[in-house]
Homo-oligomer: A and B are copies of this chain.
Amino acid sequence: MVYREVISLMTSGYGDMTDLTHQVENVIGRSGIKNGIVNIFNVGSTACIGTIEYEPGLVKDLPEQLSKIFPSGRHYAHEQTWHDGNGHSHLQATLVGSGITVPVENGRLVLGTWQQVFHLECDIKRRDREIVVTVIGE
C-alpha cells in the first residue's frame, strides 16, 4: 500500500530550519498505514532533510557549522556559470542529503524522544518548498 501527500513550506532563506515531525505523523495518520516506512524527500537541490534533536541550540549550530565546511564566498565553479551566489547551498544540501526514510510502527514514526525530522533551507533567499511524504506499508 502506498500513500502520498506533499507538505508545502515557505522558508525565510539560509539557515531556516523547520521541525516536520508532526506534519509527517499527520500524513501517516491519514494514510491508515500502521506498519512500514515513510520517505520524506525535498524537491530541489538547495535544501536538505534529516533527523536532529530539534532545540534552539542545534537549530543555530547546524547551518552555522555547515557553513564552516562549505562557506559561502569560496570560489566555486558553480558561480562561474550561474553567478547566483549559492554554490555552497548546493554542496551543503548534497552532503546532508535530500531525504530520509524512517520506520513507521502503530501508525507513528519510530524516533527517539529527542529526535525530530527537520528541513533545512540552504539557499540564500526565500523559497517555496515542496516536501514529498510517501508512506509504504500495511
Give me the interface of A with B, judged by CB distance under 8 Å. 1-2, 4, 35-37, 39, 41, 43-45, 50-53, 55-58, 60-62, 64-65, 69-70, 76-82, 87, 90-91, 94-103, 105, 110-112, 114-115, 132, 134, 136-138
Knowing that A45-B114, A61-B78 touch, tell me 16 more A-B residue pairs with CB under 8 angstroms. Answer: A36-B136, A37-B134, A43-B111, A43-B112, A44-B112, A44-B115, A50-B97, A57-B81, A57-B87, A58-B76, A58-B90, A61-B76, A69-B69, A99-B100, A105-B132, A136-B136
In the assembled complex, the Cα of A115 lies from the Cα of B44 at a distance in Å of 6
Nearest Cβ in chain B — how far from A63, in angstroms? 11
